[in-house]
Amino acid sequence: MTAQLVGTVHTLGVDLSTNPKLTALCLLEWPTGSSARIEELVVGATDETVLRVAGSADHIGIDAPFGWPRAWAAAVAAHLPGIPFAADGSPAELTRRYTDTWITANVGIYPLPVGANLIGATAIRCARLVAACGKPVDAGEGVRPGSVSEVYPAAALKRWGQSFTLYKGRQWREARLALVAALIEAGLPVALTPTQRAALEANDDALDALVASLVARAVALGLTDDCPPEAREFCRSEGWIRVPAAATSLRDLIGA
């Protein structure tokens, strides 16, 4: 069921990296029943900048893992050099969270394994920021007002019927031009100025931050998939990636 939001709402999307120069954020202002506008679009966001803007947001979406696989985390915590590793399974099995395998099965995207990949360093920065912002953490159990959610722009783009590969990096500028144009044609509910559109076309971090903010809006409206009831314990300890529900569209984000 779609949630009803009253008054102006602000959503923040953060495309997080270990390097602040590669971290982008996008704060959207959503008046009741109309398109949003970009209030802040920052590329090169420090922790201080993220936390400052987070204070103005009603809902936050961060593109970074919120936790580690439960069995992997327990085994690493207990391990000492020279003793057998305490968890069974291949490295690929151990380093993928429940939410990662769910996304693969239901969206057809393969999230990077946080247990044994460079993205683990991003997860450390994310853990510190999520704690510092002081907002409730979304574990995939319905809509929590004012929460901070883990999001995955590539999976969101695929759910919204958009291209989700080969748009990152300077060499793929033409692909970003096409993707921004396709989002607008599909009903992007954000009024972009020419300068803002150019910034999104020029930088994939900025574009991912916008998509993260759109997913935060979808979370606020109840338009994303919840964690399955049988996996709630995993989602509470490992995190849950919020993706737009099947058959929803960008136009639905304006809300009632």
The segments of the chain whose pLDDT lies below 50 read none
CB 41 within 8 A of CB 26: yes
pLDDT of residue 74: 92
pLDDT of residue 2: 62
Element spanning 109, H or E: none
pLDDT of residue 197: 98
User: What tokens appear for 82 in the block?
Assistant: 């020279």
| Sheet strands side by side (includes 190-191) | 190-191, 36-43, 24-30, 9-15, 59-63, 148-151, 241-242
pLDDT of residue 250: 97
- Burial class from Cβ neighbours inside 10 Å (0-12, 13-18, 19+) for residue 7 reads exposed
User: In Å, what is the CA distance from 1 to each residue of 74, 126, 149, 248, 255?
Assistant: 37, 30, 19, 12, 12
Neighbours of 255 (CB within 10 A): 20
Helix/strand/coil for 247 = coil
